[in-house]
Chain A
Amino acid sequence: MNALLLSAILGVMMMFSSVLISQKSAARTIAIAGMLLLLIANIMDMQGIHFFRINTEGMMHFDRFALLFNSIAIFSILLYFILSSKDMEKVGGYYSEYFSLIFFILCGIILVTSFKSLLILFLGIEIISIPLYILTGAEKKNLRSNEASLKYFLLGAFSTGLMLMGIALIYGATATFNTTQLTVSEKPGVLMITGMILLLFSMSFKVSAAPFHFWTPDVYDGAPTVFTAFMATIVKVGVFIGFIRLFDESFGMLKPQWQIWVALITAATLFIGNITAVFQQSVKRMLAYSSIAQAGFMLLAVYAMNSEAKEGLLLYSAAYCLATIGIFSVLIKMTDYTFDAFNGLAKKEPIVAATLAIFLLSLAGIPLTVGFMAKFYMLEAAIATGKHLWLVIFAVLMAAVSVYYYFRVIQAMYFKDGQPNPMQISPSFKWTLVVLAGLIVLLGIFPNLLLNWFYF
């Protein structure tokens, strides 16, 4: 609750601050300080200190799972601001508005992670989506950015339509929006099943699971890189939390009905994401497909739907956000997004290259990085279900494929010669990267540092 209201207030504040403050560094400072404040407020919420007393019964429920994820999300945005907010200046002239949109998106994420009513879920998804359409098209004079924005808007509106349809059908079947009261019988009617399938499809669309992923590469590629970093990471995992919540609370009893569907979607997502990423020539586009591939792994949590899966999804979201934000922050500094642009980076910028290597190793799931522990939890959760073991074996084979494209960047940086031309890299940027890499390794050895928060 704390974070939700504060972030809405901060969003409005940032929106009006552009009238009063013209200095860009001031806007940046306010945004970073605001995010820090949100983090503190959210952690206080976890400790039982609530700033606001508002009755949200039947609408929202701020449980441990949601609050911990919100902390991860806020922390990731904080890091993202520190690393990349300077690069937002290059996108266009509305600097502080970008921050305010991100604050609004955070509101949406908080709604999506803690909804108790399908209406709130819908509201949250919309609050996330509309600012994202704007951010995607923020580079007004760039045709590709415009195209991406339009494409995203049309397809996003379509999937929102599906979602509303699904919610309406479910309401027709049960006469309630409350997630915990939806399924009463093990033998649901046609309305209920159709509604559930529609919700499954629209959520799959939002997390870019195959075969609903077609918008992802174009939108991620066309959007300004600095915003791709945001929407590919924090937004995506936020929607995932909503996804797992929806299927756990609302459709938990219908698991036999949807599990095989989710298994098929997972397999398709893993396959398409990984195999297509192999053939990309641009690192940015590769990361877009990699985000589909990683979504495939996160879908394993939805498929398994047990206590390991929930823990694992939290860890996975942290692992994925930290590493991907790091990689994007370096990518933004490059003048050219091809793999060859990274040739010889290790000689020119050894610290940046070393940290980038750790981020990539983490995404590939090599032990000693949090990416491994995240994948480990996912596999464990999927094995714990005790059936469809082919899915687990398929997932690890696809993880092996992912090594191919992640290591191409490492190979370029370390083993090939070249003259990379990164833009100015400040010492503070480097140190933030080092801290981020240290965090990834630390969580890779002691994942309980994060997961203990789930219980205590």
Chain B
Amino acid sequence: MIAVLLILIPLLAGLISFFLKSERAARSWALFSSLAALAVAIIAVTANGNESNLAFRADWMGALNSSFSIRMDGLGKLLCLLNAVAFPIIFLGTWHTQYTKAANFFGLMLLTQAGMMGVFLAMDALLFYFFWELALIPAYFLCSQWGGPKRIQVTFKFFIYTFIGSLLMLVGLLYIYYHTPDRSFDIKSFYAIQHHITGNEQTWLFWLLFVAFAIKMPIFPFHTWQPDTYEQAPTSTTMVLSGVMVKMGVFGLLRWLIPVLPAASWAWGDTVSWMAVIGMLYASLIAIRQDDLKRLVAYSSIAHIGLMCVTVFSVNEIGMQGVIIQMFNHGVNIIGLWIVVELIERQFGTRKISELGGIAQKAPAMAILFVVIALANIALPLTNAFVGEFLMFTGIFNSAVTKYNVWFTVLAGLCIILAAVYTLNMIRKVFYGNTVERTANAIDIGLMEKLALGIIVVLIFWIGIYSQPFFAISDTVSADITNSILNKQEVLPVIKK
């Protein structure tokens, strides 16, 4: 039942929010309900040995053999936790940002949260598809209504892009459904499909599904919607998109692609990894040249997600562990970065690095918190991202399924160095040096923002220093996913050659 609550709380809270009159009420209501969801998520994650509470199944579409079946496994736990942690932080961090028609804004935000919860929990392919789309619709309205000047065209591009991906995925899911022996959308039937289709079918099914996930993550060359959308969307929505929603893509790989089509994932892994590595280098190089803070963070996000994709397709248990924990870390860290970008933009009216400078002199608290988060973004030891990226690099380097493991490690490692270049450069130009006209009268951040950034910093150090509790949540899952490929009788001999 707990798992149902995770979807139900934001869903109902979002619907109620549409009827609230004042802005203040809507804002408080959103914070309150997101905290309630967080409380439930924490209970769910810490409920060891009481797994029956974390699953729920009800009849839905009997004729199609699809049921409302949700369950929280280790992967789902960590991502639901991320989803639940993200929203209170976002609401706190943007507490003083004004929105027209705030009730609608917060209502749509909460509906997005409900949709994403469903994606992470669904154990039925049709249900998964439903939630996958449902998370998108409110995000579309959020970006188109409250975004920047070019919002309508840009958001539309984003929507069409992801919609094409989803529809191709739907065709793939339907094809698999039609070939399951018991004609069912249940995840167990999907995991057994590999014995009922040929390798050729696996190949193009792989691409049908992969394109949907690749667009969501995004992976080069499907990334072109992303910088524009991140730039034009209202920043709190950008936080949702980059903090949680892109994880839907990685999550899709882990749950609905690799275990379902292991042979094709193994066969095409190198191709996909090369795409991701090219994207990482490309995005990192572009990020160095960016003058707009939002675009800089957007490109850095492409690079980070690319690394996750490479690791996923290097299929190594340690690497998988790293991906899962890094999804959580990346979500938390990037929300921190966006909060600071939002604060800077609100106070100084610009996001251009060249028009800013010396903020640290006037706003030391913001500077300190931001530097910690930025260092986490480049995976310095003691921070959470170090743990994740270290594991991921170990995984790529020791990968048994690819012969390019050294290449991938070196090239991806290069991106970490480039990340340090653009991140530190940005810190230097924005926070240090002499103040300019705009920043001469800067004031420091308030309590709410301190609280939001403070929580993020605490999480950064907690996972960076003592990450064992988080690993404990997801270790069985990463082993399962890895084994889904490596234990295949038909695949293993080929790999060993």
Cβ of A414 and Cβ of B167 under 8 Å apart? Answer: no
Chain B residues contacting A415 (CB-CB under 8 Å) are 144-145, 151-152
Considering only CB atoms and an 8 Å cut-off, how many residues of chain B contact the other chain? 26
In the bound complex, what is the Cα–Cα distance between A393 and B129 (angstroms)?
Answer: 17
Cβ of A368 and Cβ of B130 under 8 Å apart? Answer: yes
Asked if B268 is at the interface (CB within 8 A of a chain A CB), the reply is no
In the bound complex, what is the Cα–Cα distance between A396 and B170 (angstroms)?
Answer: 9
Asked if B62 is at the interface (CB within 8 A of a chain A CB), the reply is yes
Chain A residues contacting B61 (CB-CB under 8 Å) are 446-448
Partner of A367, one of B133, B160, B164, B171: B133
Chain A residues contacting B160 (CB-CB under 8 Å) are 400, 403-404
> What's the minimum C-beta distance from A202 to chain B, rounded to whole angstroms?
32
Fill in one digit per residue for A175-217: 1 if any B CB lies within 8 Å of its CB, else 0: 0000000000000000000000000000000000000000000
Which residues of A from 404 to 439 have beta carbons under 8 Å from B?
Answer: 404, 407, 411, 414-416
Known A-B contacts A368-B130, A383-B174; the reply to A397 vs B137 at CB < 8 A is no
Known A-B contacts A379-B174, A393-B171, A414-B144; the reply to A366 vs B133 at CB < 8 A is yes
In the bound complex, what is the Cα–Cα distance between A447 and B130 (angstroms)?
Answer: 14
Partner of B171, one of A379, A414, A447, A448: A379
Asked if A36 is at the interface (CB within 8 A of a chain B CB), the reply is no
Which residues of B from 51 to 88 have beta carbons under 8 Å from A?
Answer: 61-63
Chain B residues contacting A376 (CB-CB under 8 Å) are 170, 174
Cβ of B174 and Cβ of A399 under 8 Å apart? Answer: no
Known A-B contacts A380-B174, A407-B159; the reply to A414 vs B141 at CB < 8 A is yes
Which residues of B from 196 to 231 have beta carbons under 8 Å from A?
Answer: none
Partner of A393, one of B134, B145, B168: B168
Q: Which residue of A lies closest to B151 (CB)?
A: A415
In the bound complex, what is the Cα–Cα distance between A451 and B130 (angstroms)?
Answer: 20
Asked if B163 is at the interface (CB within 8 A of a chain A CB), the reply is yes
Partner of B167, one of A361, A400, A411, A448: A400
> What's the minimum C-beta distance from A445 to chain B, rounded to whole angstroms?
8
Asked if B178 is at the interface (CB within 8 A of a chain A CB), the reply is yes
Which of B62, B159, B167 lies at the interface centre, i.e. has the most chain A CB atoms within 10 A of its CB? B167
Asked if A384 is at the interface (CB within 8 A of a chain B CB), the reply is yes
Asked if A392 is at the interface (CB within 8 A of a chain B CB), the reply is yes
Asked if B471 is at the interface (CB within 8 A of a chain A CB), the reply is no
Which residues of B from 130 to 178 have beta carbons under 8 Å from A?
Answer: 130, 133-134, 137, 141, 144-145, 151-152, 156, 159-160, 163-164, 167-168, 170-171, 174-175, 177-178
Q: Is the interface of A mostly helix, strand, loop or mixed?
A: helix
Which residues of A from 309 to 326 have beta carbons under 8 Å from B?
Answer: 311
Cβ of A396 and Cβ of B168 under 8 Å apart? Answer: yes
Known A-B contacts A366-B133, A379-B171; the reply to A448 vs B62 at CB < 8 A is yes
In the bound complex, what is the Cα–Cα distance between A447 and B126 (angstroms)?
Answer: 14
Chain B residues contacting A368 (CB-CB under 8 Å) are 130, 133-134
Cβ of B144 and Cβ of A384 under 8 Å apart? Answer: no
Chain B residues contacting A367 (CB-CB under 8 Å) are 129-130, 133-134
In the bound complex, what is the Cα–Cα distance between A404 and B160 (angstroms)?
Answer: 8
Cβ of B137 and Cβ of A366 under 8 Å apart? Answer: yes
Partner of A411, one of B152, B163, B170: B152
Cβ of B145 and Cβ of A407 under 8 Å apart? Answer: no
In the bound complex, what is the Cα–Cα distance between A414 and B137 (angstroms)?
Answer: 14
In the bound complex, what is the Cα–Cα distance between A397 and B208 (angstroms)?
Answer: 12
Known A-B contacts A366-B133, A367-B129, A448-B62; the reply to A411 vs B156 at CB < 8 A is yes
Q: Which residue of A lies closest to B133 (CB)?
A: A367
Cβ of B152 and Cβ of A396 under 8 Å apart? Answer: no
Chain B residues contacting A397 (CB-CB under 8 Å) are 164, 167
Fill in one digit per residue for B297-338: 1 if any A CB lies within 8 Å of its CB, else 0: 000000000000000000000000000000000000000000
Which residues of B from 94 to 136 have beta carbons under 8 Å from A?
Answer: 129-130, 133-134
Which of B130, B164, B171 lies at the interface centre, i.e. has the most chain A CB atoms within 10 A of its CB? B171
In the bound complex, what is the Cα–Cα distance between A14 and B368 (angstroms)?
Answer: 81
Chain B residues contacting A311 (CB-CB under 8 Å) are 63
Chain A residues contacting B164 (CB-CB under 8 Å) are 396-397, 400
In the bound complex, what is the Cα–Cα distance between A311 and B137 (angstroms)?
Answer: 27
In the bound complex, what is the Cα–Cα distance between A414 and B140 (angstroms)?
Answer: 12
Known A-B contacts A379-B171, A397-B164; the reply to A411 vs B134 at CB < 8 A is no
Cβ of B167 and Cβ of A396 under 8 Å apart? Answer: yes
In the bound complex, what is the Cα–Cα distance between A451 and B63 (angstroms)?
Answer: 9
Cβ of B151 and Cβ of A379 under 8 Å apart? Answer: no
Chain B residues contacting A372 (CB-CB under 8 Å) are 133
In the bound complex, what is the Cα–Cα distance between A368 and B167 (angstroms)?
Answer: 15
Chain A residues contacting B137 (CB-CB under 8 Å) are 361, 366
Q: Which residue of B lies closest to A346 (CB)?
A: B145
Known A-B contacts A415-B144, A415-B145, A447-B61; the reply to A383 vs B171 at CB < 8 A is yes
> What's the minimum C-beta distance from A161 to chain B, rounded to whole angstroms?
40
Cβ of B163 and Cβ of A383 under 8 Å apart? Answer: no
Chain A residues contacting B151 (CB-CB under 8 Å) are 415
Which residues of B from 349 to 382 have beta carbons under 8 Å from A?
Answer: none
Chain A residues contacting B134 (CB-CB under 8 Å) are 367-368
In the bound complex, what is the Cα–Cα distance between A372 and B170 (angstroms)?
Answer: 11
Closest A-B pairs by Cβ, 9 of them: A396-B167, A367-B133, A400-B164, A367-B130, A415-B144, A383-B174, A400-B163, A415-B152, A383-B178
Can you identify 29 A-B contacts, CB atoms within 8 angstroms?
A311-B63, A361-B137, A366-B133, A367-B129, A368-B130, A368-B133, A368-B134, A376-B174, A379-B170, A380-B174, A383-B171, A384-B178, A389-B171, A393-B168, A393-B171, A396-B170, A397-B164, A397-B167, A399-B167, A400-B167, A403-B160, A403-B163, A404-B156, A404-B160, A414-B141, A414-B145, A416-B152, A448-B61, A448-B63
B residues with CB within 8 A of A: 61-63, 129-130, 133-134, 137, 141, 144-145, 151-152, 156, 159-160, 163-164, 167-168, 170-171, 174-175, 177-178
